[in-house]
């Protein structure tokens, strides 16, 4: 499809998701070759839900993203989300970006006692709660129920890492003032649990829960088990009613992947081509739906087209197209030329999904 072409918006009556038939190759018994199955084209929700469950899909579900300039309003965030995920690229998931930040200023914790500044959020008065919830409501009104909506949130430890003046500040306070750090993390976790519950009640299908610090390049496993994992799990209690909760393990190397495999989420996301493990390796150790396949700083953001296609085909081969969502490992740079993203979206329609 030419650059700048608008895909039909889901849920507006402009496109009937059940009128087009898609060929999906079914591999028969050995020696008998393959026979085509015929699928009515799925809605985005049907496609993603089938992928999460490990059921056949008409094509690979696809999503990619970057951050948007924020005007600080829920409606503005919703409109930016609609333009990118729905109108421009016809992606299978509308991922609301974290561009209305948690109300704890970056680099504001300069001494251990400053962790006491972290307080419970008044849900009725907080801009963070109100504007993000409004964004979800606007998205659901515009998209109907044929497109999944997920809300990006950072974990309690990730928010603490942003609030600390620098990484050394946080790590030092973990060692020398652990009670203060634990109290702050507990407060952030409870705030996030309440907010996650609110956005799902407002119409979100789940959260994209981005954890940071889950890497031995930052801290040892024992420290993450003490300061990361417990508060992740508290926050995720708010997502109990979501069917599309994505855990994003952020980092470029030495991820503690085994520390999070039992988290109560349906999908795992990480920079598989940058940090590892590979999709194939991850499939051996978890039955959760996997999300990845494209290097966020590779062809998807820089070209060429051949490499974008190559990575997509390789991801398909690693996962056999089951329990898999094709996506970038993490956000592509905001200045990425959209022609590469346009091509990435187009090639998905050409990939054959084999069913065993």
Question: Which parts of the chain sit beneath pLDDT 70?
Answer: 1-39, 355-356
Determine the pLDDT at residue 39.
60
Q: Which residues on adjacent β-strands are paired with residue 96?
A: 151
Q: Using CA atoms in the order 72, 8, 88, 301, what is the torsion angle rounded to 10 degrees?
A: 130
Name, in order, each residue with C-beta under 8 angstroms of 231's C-beta and a sequence gap of 6 or more.
155, 156, 157, 185, 186, 188, 189
Determine the pLDDT at residue 9.
32
Question: Total structural domains in the chain?
Answer: 1
Helix (H, G, I), strand (E, B) or coil at 311: helix
The answer, yes or no, to whether the previous bond of 135 is cis (omega within 30 of 0) is no
Evaluate whether residue 174 is within a structural domain.
yes
Q: What is the CATH number of the domain that holds 146?
A: 3.20.20.210
Determine the pLDDT at residue 258.
96
Evaluate whether residue 6 is within a structural domain.
no
Evaluate whether residue 249 is within a structural domain.
yes
Evaluate whether residue 8 is within a structural domain.
no
pTM over 0.75: yes
**Alpha-carbon torsion (98, 104, 108, 109), positive or negative:** negative
Q: Give the whole-angstrom CA distance, residue 300 versus residue 289.
A: 22
Determine the pLDDT at residue 71.
87
Closest alpha carbon to 314 in 269, 350, 278, 349: 278
Could you report the per-residue pLDDT of 117-154, keeping only the tens digit for each? 999 999 899 999 999 999 999 999 999 999 999 999 99
Could you report the per-residue pLDDT of 195-219, keeping only the tens digit for each? 999 999 999 999 999 999 999 999 9
Evaluate whether residue 56 is within a structural domain.
yes
Determine the pLDDT at residue 6.
30
Q: Which structural domain range is residue 287 located in?
A: 26-355
């Amino acid at each position: 499809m030419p650059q700048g072409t608008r895909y039909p918006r889901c849920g507006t009556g402009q496109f009937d998701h059940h009128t087009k038939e898609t060929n999906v190759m079914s591999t028969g018994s050995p020696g008998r070759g393959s026979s085509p199955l015929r699928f009515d084209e799925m809605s985005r929700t049907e496609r993603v839900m089938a992928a999460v469950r490990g059921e056949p899909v008409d094509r690979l579900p696809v999503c990619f993203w970057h951050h948007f300039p924020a005007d600080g309003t829920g409606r503005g965030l919703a409109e930016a989300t609609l333009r990118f995920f729905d109108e421009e690229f016809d992606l299978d998931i509308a991922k609301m970006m974290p561009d209305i930040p948690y109300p704890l200023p970056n680099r504001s914790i300069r001494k251990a006692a400053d962790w006491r500044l972290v307080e419970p959020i008044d849900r009725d008065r907080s801009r963070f709660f109100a504007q993000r919830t409004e964004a979800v409501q606007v998205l659901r009104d515009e998209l109907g129920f044929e497109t999944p909506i997920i809300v990006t949130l950072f974990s309690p430890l990730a928010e603490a890492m942003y609030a600390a003046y620098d990484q050394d500040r946080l790590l030092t306070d973990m060692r020398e003032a652990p009670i203060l750090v634990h109290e702050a993390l507990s407060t952030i976790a409870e705030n996030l649990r309440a907010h996650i519950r609110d956005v799902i009640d407002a119409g979100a299908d789940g959260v994209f829960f981005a954890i940071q610090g889950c890497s031995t390049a930052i801290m040892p496993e024992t420290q993450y088990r003490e300061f990361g994992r417990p508060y992740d799990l508290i926050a995720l209690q708010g997502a109990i009613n979501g069917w599309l909760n994505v855990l994003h393990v952020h980092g470029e190397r030495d991820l503690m992947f085994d520390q999070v495999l039992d988290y109560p989420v349906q999908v795992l996301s990480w920079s598989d081509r940058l940090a590892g493990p590979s999709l194939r390796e991850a499939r051996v150790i978890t039955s959760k739906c996997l999300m990845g396949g494209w290097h966020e700083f590779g062809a998807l953001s820089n070209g060429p087209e051949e490499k974008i296609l190559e990575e997509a085909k390789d991801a398909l081969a690693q996962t056999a197209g089951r329990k898999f969502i094709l996506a970038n490992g993490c956000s592509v740079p905001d200045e990425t030329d959209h022609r590469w993203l346009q091509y990435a979206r187009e090639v998905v329609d050409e990939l054959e999904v084999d069913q065993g």
